[in-house]
Chain A
Amino acid sequence: MYSRAYKSIVSLPPLLWVGLFLLLPYALMFAHSFWLVRDGFLVHQWNLQNYQKLATNPLYVEVLLRTMRIAASVTFLSLLLGYPLAYYLSFHAGARKELLYQLVIVPLWVSYLVRGYAWKTILGSDGVLNGFLQYFHLTHAPVSFLLYSPFAVVVMLTHIYTPFVFLPIYAALEHIPRPLVEASQDLGASQRATFLRVILPLSMPGLLAGATFAFVLSLGDFLAPLLVGGPSGTMIANIVQSLFGAAYDWPLGAAVSVCILLITVTLLFLTERLEKRWSFK
């Protein structure tokens, strides 16, 4: 139906653009990770030094493991908050469903930075939470371990990703045919059994999509640690950032980035397979 000319006119510009401004930059990142820096200059000499450094220096491994722990905590907590909320909205909210749905979405549009800043003002040692605790005489001196810790990073990121986790789960729950749930109840299954054997398995693709999203985006975050993390909350992307900044070792920074990228792509690939397996079709 569409002519050859039509097809080339619509395909060529985006292909060229994406090739030049996306494929080439990602390829450059890859290439840099195999180069090195000598006397402050980039040397285009192919080698595996950067990856060797990463594998042998315990600092990188330690920070990477901490990052994974933080990302896993964020994912777990976002699910813990997001799933019951989605379940409540889908099955128990009745007429208020639409309004409540919008209420979950609204904070998604509030700037990432602004939300991080808000947590900083809440958790700080002269912050709102400490003011609140002392006002009601729950504590007598400021609690200072709240801010500048991995805890603060987890709270901030959980706050940011809960709505993101909620969305695919809610969509999955809404797609469950209600007669299936009724059939399960009519046939004598308890509410618990209905949830565990009908609703939960059918919402699995949504749950996986949300979990992957929260994990992957937390894994590569460098702003939350800078805002509320302090030195003990440093994450792997902060290492990348300092290697590209003050430390000026782009090749090593690129190698760390490639690792983050590989972890991300592997996870996405795995969950895509899992989602297909759980899909209800």
Chain B
Amino acid sequence: MTSQMALSNTRSRAPILTTYAVFVFAFIYLPIVVLIAYSFNRDGVGGFPPRHFTMDWYRQLFADRAIWDAMLNSLIVATASVVLALTLGLLAALALDRASFPGKALFRRLVLLPLILPGIITGLSLLMFAVFMGLPLSLLTVFLGHGTALISVATTELFAGLQKIDRAQEEASLDMGATPWQTFWRITLPNLKLSLIAAGLLIFTLSMDEIAVTFFLIGRDNTLPLEIWGRLRRGITPEINAISTLIFAVSVALIVVWYRVRTRGLGAEPQDLLERS
């Protein structure tokens, strides 16, 4: 109670800090607001103020086959990456939590590496690997890159989830004669449901947006960010504002879902994995 009073006292005494915070928020949101506003501007990007409202850029966008093909490619890659990263991430989290094997410390660091290293290093390493193995560059190599790099995210989230599970439940299940397999499906997995959903959403979004690793692994078929990238190199078009606004809207929708899941007492930071295991 006293602390709340103290806080509300200090609150009124910090006009400079409050102004500064408003300024920082303005900086963070300026580009997003500009982006959305100019997606409805008839005269295109640039100039001030935006004058004539139009939906033309959205109409043009919906008629643009290349964008939607790229979108479909991105959805396929992201979905496949979620499946791969969640499966291997779950096993890795179980291994880190429950098994001991030589090189465990190294393994833990290696899994997290793509999360910490600049994307260009992971991307180029995988490019050299693909060439070395004689794999032609295609959506398959992009999927291998995304799926493998994002095991880090899955492992971090699921490891945190495992740490919160009550081990006694599993012990009871095993003691009462359930096989390890049954225990896994009926006790471990249901307990991890929320972590799995949170990790899955995060991996999906990260894969949809990935560009640094994709840049080096892409074949003839573009993902959405690479298609946008290609257009940016040729010049600015408000169609990009329109697709960006749509992506923003979808992201916000996903965040709402993500928070619904996350506020039920979940969440992990990469540091947690390093500290706790």
Contact = CB atoms under 8 A, between A and B. Distances in A.
Nearest to B50: A128
Contact of B38 (A25, A121, A261): A121
Interface stretch (B22-30, B75-83, B189-197): B22-30
Interface residues of A, number: 94
Contacts of A130: 46
A88 B95 contact: no
Contacts of B216: 244
B148 A21 contact: yes
A240 B195 CA distance: 37
A109 interface: yes
Contact of B110 (A23, A118, A223, A244): A23
A110 B248 contact: yes
Given A92-B10, A106-B252, A10 B30 contact: no
> Majority SS of interface residues in chain A?
helix
Contact of A261 (B117, B128, B211): B117
Interface hub of B8, B18, B35, B120 (most chain A Cβ within 10 A):
B120
Interface string B103-121: 0000100110110111111
B72 interface: no
Given A3-B180, A85-B21, A209-B271, A240 B47 contact: no
B232 A220 contact: no
A178 B4 CA distance: 10
> Majority SS of interface residues in chain B?
helix
B6 interface: yes
Given A14-B88, A88-B17, A113-B229, A122 B116 contact: no
B129 A21 contact: yes
Given A10-B94, A17-B88, A109-B205, A29 B124 contact: yes
A240 B124 contact: yes
Interface hub of B127, B128, B180 (most chain A Cβ within 10 A):
B128
A2 B34 contact: no
B121 A112 contact: no
A117 to B, nearest CB: 6
Interface string B165-204: 0010011001000001000000000000000000000000
B98 interface: yes
21 contacts: A3-B180, A14-B95, A29-B121, A81-B24, A81-B27, A88-B18, A94-B7, A113-B232, A117-B232, A118-B34, A118-B244, A120-B232, A121-B34, A121-B38, A124-B236, A128-B47, A216-B118, A220-B120, A221-B118, A261-B121, A264-B116
Given A111-B225, A209-B271, 15 more contacts: A10-B95, A18-B111, A23-B110, A106-B251, A107-B28, A110-B32, A113-B211, A117-B236, A118-B31, A120-B232, A121-B45, A126-B46, A131-B46, A182-B3, A264-B117
